[in-house]
A and B are shown apart, each in its own frame.
Chain A
Amino acid sequence: MLAAFLDNVDLVLMTIGALVGVAASLLGAFLVLRGSSLYSDAISHSILLGIVVVYLISGDVHSPYQVVGAALAGLATVYLSELLGASRRVKQDAAMGLVFPALFALAVLLINLFARDVHLDEHAVLLGELAFAWLDVVTIGPYDVPRSLITMGVITLVNALFVTLFFKELKLAVFDPGLAEALGLRPRLLFYVLLFLTSVTAVGAFDAVGAILFIAFVIVPPAAAYLLTDRLWAVVAGGAFLAVAASIAGYHAAMWLDVSIGGMMATVCGLSLVAAFLASPRYGLVARLVRHRRQRAEAQILLLLVHLYNHEQETTAAQESDLAALQHHLRWPARLGRAVVARAQQQGLLTVGPDGQRLHLTDKGRDAARQVLEPWRRG
């Protein structure tokens, strides 16, 4: 079965993409909720410096030091940005925007100068190419396994383990760092571990999808899931699910159009976010608009009922409770007035006199108006 799996090129590439997506979005959920998701941007750029420096020292592109060096470079970026921001000489966002482009620029320069010949090409680093996963295989027993499959498998496992084991701590650290601190849970340390794992994942994802598309996998699936649900575990699991779905759909789209696989996977992620943004049942744009309109309609009816109720006992009741009068007294255009009256009539809250102008509250309408004015008399 394993041999059949490894022979299926499509399946293996999709699996690698899905592993990158799951590993990244598991961690990304917490970064997005904490409001620190752009650290993944900084990290994914600056790990290149770590990779290049370790390469220049060791002469090996795939040494285990690579992962450590790159991950340290990622953490260094975060630390430097926070230090610079804390010095108050530049603001926090500008601090990050100063540090990571500088480190990335240095890395590209070093590649230009010393490492042109190896496959550390600066364009590959930026864009990645999933299809090249087959150029780098490890032989295990009778099987030739792409190296990225193994690395990403291990990283996904570690990330999943971390998120499961520290779910409670992470949850508290994200939503109430003060309480977490008071309980002795060390939220800052936990956050740095999270960023360390993000760096490691970025290194692993590097060959497959490149530096910038990695950010898409960290931020976009959890963000889309967050628009769909209120439960943390659902954000985490939903993000991972969306990442897998995007990998599969993106792979087929990329094959069909003959374009970058990683790019297409990330594009599909983006589309899922747009879909969630527009159509999420509770937080989507459409749902919000509908809700807004409904609330406005309800408020208009209540306003009319209260208006009628207030003037019911007065001598001017006849003038006030006139359909045409609404234009002046509530400043409603004639069309709006007619529409609101029609809706209220439909709900049995008022009746219109035979002249089609005089409005009378029904008992139900009077109750509704009284509830607005005197809510404590309820029941």
Chain B
Amino acid sequence: MPELWEILTDFTVRNALLGAALLGVLSGVLGTFAVLREQSLLGDALSHAALPGICIGFLIAGGRHLWPLVLGALAAGAAAALLVLLLTNHSRLKPDASVGAVLSTFFAIGTVLLTYIQNRQLPGQAGLDSFLFGQAAAILPADLGVMAAVAALGLGLVAIFWKEFKLIAFDPGFARSLGWRVSLLEALLTAMIALAVVIGLQMVGVVLMVAMIIAPAAAARQWARRLETMVVLAGVFGAASGMLGTIVSLARPGLATGPLIVLAATGVTVVSLVFAPQRGVLWQAVQRRRTRAAIEGGRVLVDLLQLARAHGDEAFATEQGMIDAVYGADAQPVLRQLEKQGLVKPLPPQLGKGQQWQLTSAGQAEAQRLLEKREE
């Protein structure tokens, strides 16, 4: 496919893909902790709060340079997180109302500032509203440097505080009893979500960023049973969906990047929810069928053995109608299943009699085992 190769080697595209990969890895890794600590929707508040931060950064710097915007977004995110904590801990509002109030108020302030900038026709404001939904094509090499620095900071902090974050995610009470400064560490983890948000500004935009925090982590959770695995998988899922969404959005001009990345991440999550081993919907459905078949098969086996013993011969062949009556339903499908397992065998049909079934020696042993287990 020469065309695809051409797209992939294109300068803009390479920048965008690198950016998407950085974003995916960081938001996946940090999202893991947010999801495990049931703070998913705090991510929503932080990402919406980035909007006024961007606008203030723009107003101060007087142009669309990424560093001021990033710092503004970080500061606004931290302020929002602090406010949510304040409202939750020091007022009678429930967490959901605190999150919702902060989210919507910060976004409202952002809207006001955005229209302020637009209505003043300030220079260099073009594309400021691309931060709402993300525009991968607008990424410059210099932006990439900023994103890489932020990602390195975020991942570095996770590496340094790995042990602490792990304990906080699963047992904050124990961490507190060890004398750790848990609230400080929690504040750090929350503030780091703002890092992920900041890095996603250009790719996904403030509105949909919450999905990139939740979806890769939720997908990874389905496959992983250890935090290490989950973090790595979430990073991989995030990067993969980021790059996939970016490629599609670049293939056709006019498509906002954010929604496509989010849809890709959601797709990964849906696949994980359905197909993941042990937790997946499909896996559990199969498991349930197997368990049920085993139980039903066991019942018929024991019935057969007891019927045979009633006739004083464990190899006695019982008629199908008799089995149905004892089993309480049509036992045909169960018997066929047992036949496949080599536990019962049908006798050759005889004139004037229904189908007859006989326990094989393996079937007798199995039925005996089940009977003993039942009596325990």
Contacts and interface: CB of A to CB of B under 8 A. Distances in A.
B245 to A, nearest CB: 9
A355 interface: no
A122 interface: yes
Given A226-B93, A260-B111, A260-B114, A98 B269 contact: yes
A97 B210 contact: yes
Contacts of B218: 90, 94, 98
Contacts of B350: none
A94 B32 CA distance: 11
CB-based closest 10 A-B pairs: A270-B105, A263-B111, A266-B108, A216-B104, A101-B211, A105-B259, A260-B115, A105-B262, A102-B266, A219-B100
Contacts of A263: 108-112, 114-115
Contacts of A127: 111, 114-115
Chain B: number of interface residues, binned into ranges? 35 or more
B199 interface: no
Contacts of B132: 122-123, 126
Interface string A26-55: 000000100111101100000000000000
Interface stretch (B84-92, B166-174, B177-185): B84-92
A267 interface: yes
Interface stretch (A3-11, A58-66, A106-114): A106-114
A259 interface: yes
Given A90-B218, A91-B38, A98-B266, A122 B96 contact: no
Given A97-B44, A104-B208, A108-B133, A38 B99 contact: yes
A108 B91 contact: no
A130 to B, nearest CB: 11
A12 interface: no
Contacts of A254: 112
B221 A90 contact: yes
B215 A98 contact: yes
B208 A94 contact: no
A260 B112 contact: yes
A365 B344 CA distance: 93
B263 to A, nearest CB: 5
Interface of A: 32, 35-38, 40-41, 84, 87, 89-91, 93-94, 96-98, 101-102, 104-106, 108-109, 112-113, 116, 122-123, 126-127, 210, 212-213, 215-216, 218-220, 223, 226-227, 254, 257-260, 262-267, 269-270, 273, 277, 283, 285, 288
A227 B109 contact: no
Contact of A212 (B35, B41, B107): B107
A41 to B, nearest CB: 6
Interface string B38-49: 111101100010
Contacts of A227: 91-93
Contacts of B266: 98, 101-102, 105
A207 B58 CA distance: 28
A244 to B, nearest CB: 17
Contacts of A35: 94-97
18 contacts: A35-B94, A35-B95, A89-B281, A93-B41, A98-B218, A101-B214, A106-B259, A108-B133, A109-B256, A123-B129, A212-B48, A212-B104, A213-B104, A218-B100, A220-B100, A259-B115, A262-B111, A288-B90
Contact of B112 (A38, A108, A210, A259): A259
A269 B105 contact: yes
Contacts of A104: 207-208, 259
B211 A102 contact: yes
Given A109-B256, A220-B104, A265-B108, 8 more contacts: A212-B107, A215-B104, A219-B104, A220-B105, A257-B116, A260-B111, A262-B111, A273-B101
Given A38-B41, A109-B263, A116 B111 contact: no
A98 B110 CA distance: 24
B119 interface: yes
A122 B93 CA distance: 32
B322 interface: no
Max chain A C-beta neighbours (<10 A), residue from B39, B99, B217: B99
Given A258-B119, A260-B111, A260-B115, A108 B256 contact: yes
Nearest to A104: B208
Contacts of B35: 90-91, 94
Contact of A285 (B90, B101, B210): B90
B318 interface: no
A101 B105 contact: no
Nearest to A264: B112
B260 A109 contact: yes
B94 A267 contact: no
B282 to A, nearest CB: 12
A80 B248 CA distance: 27
Interface string B7-32: 00000000000000000000000000
A122 B105 contact: no
B258 interface: yes
B129 A97 contact: no
Contacts of A259: 111-113, 115-116, 119
A101 B216 CA distance: 13
Interface in B122-137: 129, 132-133
Contacts of B348: none
A195 B59 CA distance: 39
Given A90-B218, A223-B93, A283-B92, A105 B208 contact: yes
B103 interface: yes
A126 B207 CA distance: 9
Nearest to A101: B211
A109 B207 contact: no
A69 to B, nearest CB: 20
Interface in B192-225: 207-208, 210-211, 213-215, 217-218, 221-222
B172 to A, nearest CB: 16
Contacts of B208: 101, 104-105
Contacts of B133: 108, 122
A379 to B, nearest CB: 35
B107 A213 contact: yes
A134 B221 CA distance: 50
Contacts of A105: 208, 211, 258-260, 262-263, 266
